[in-house]
Amino acid sequence: MSVATLVFLCIGGFSLLVLVLSFFGGHVHVGHLHLHAGHHGFAARVLSLPGIAGLIGGFGFGGAIADEGLHSAGLAAGIGLAVGVPLSWAAGRLMAAADGMSTDATPSSGDVVGATGVVVSPVPEHGLGQVRVLFAGQETKFNARSEHPLALGVRVIVVDVLTPTSVLVDPLPGFLDARRPNVQKEGQ
């Protein structure tokens, strides 16, 4: 192994350190370089830590492989650069895709209106009971009030949110209850 190959491997190893740092920071401000690209432009993606790691890693590891085969440090440096630039671009594109990924809005207590559930603690008239409601992808227990008394196991629909932990419910009409089979009336 030549000295040039060892130097290229050290440069490639340094790129791995930069890549690990990108997990903790994400981007770096390079001196007083003002590119006016904000945090979303092409220059911001290329000068992100993953973009810099891709450039340095491609240069280092690509140069080491080329130097071992060609035994020419100058040619190996050119090949390493030719490998590093596309890697930097690819890392920038991956960062842009991750940065621009849309996510759902954070659910609020008002989003529970219209959700269906079941009574898990009987709701007395003008009293407080409990219901289990599918909310934000998981079953959540709420304190519940109703204008009518509700027995254990009754399917309900949330009609209003009284507080973040209590709701106003009504019995779920039979035609909305998916668990009930459709019953045909006589003569149909």
pLDDT value of position 184: 38
> What average pLDDT does this structure show over 166-179?
78
pTM equals: 0.49
Task: Give the residue among 64, 28, 34 at the shortest CA–CA distance from 47.
Answer: 28
pLDDT per residue as tens digits for the range 5-31: 899 889 988 888 888 877 776 555 554
Q: If you average pLDDT over residues 98-121, what whole number do you get?
A: 85
Domains defined along the chain, listed by start: 3-99 (no CATH), 109-176 (2.40.50.140)
- Mean pLDDT computed over 36-60: 70
CA 138 to chain centre: 18
Determine the pLDDT at residue 121: 94
Q: Say which residues have a Cβ less than 8 Å from residue 11's Cβ, sequence separation at least 6.
A: 56, 59, 60, 63
